[in-house]
Amino acid sequence: MEQQQTQQNQSGQIMQEPPKVVTVKDSLYLTDMLSWNLIAMKKAHFFANQCQDPEIKAALHHAGEMHQKHYQTILTHLNTSGSQQTGFSGSH
């Protein structure tokens, strides 16, 4: 299912596409999002390997996979929307 989200700028007009420039604040937030997901993924997999209960172990592995998917999704969006413009590379 294709989702189209519309954003409104401060004057109330609908933004048809994202801006071509990523601000420093945006860049820092994106870096934080990548870091949060990477750390959450690593912690979930670590604790899953320490766990004895199979249900909890499976739930932790599932949570780790979810964070890994989010991490990859963010990287994919950055790479397909002009990583050269944002200065991001896929080496986080």
| Exposed / middle / buried, residue 76 (Cβ in 10 Å: 0-12, 13-18, 19+) | exposed
Q: Global pTM? A: 0.64
Distance CA 58, CA 48 (A): 7
The H or E element spanning position 61 is helix 54-80
Q: What percent of the chain has pLDDT over 90?
A: 48
Domain boundaries defined on the chain: 24-76
pLDDT in tens, 66-82: 999 999 999 988 887 65
Distance CA 56, CA 79 (A): 35
CB 41 within 8 A of CB 68: yes
pLDDT at 66: 97
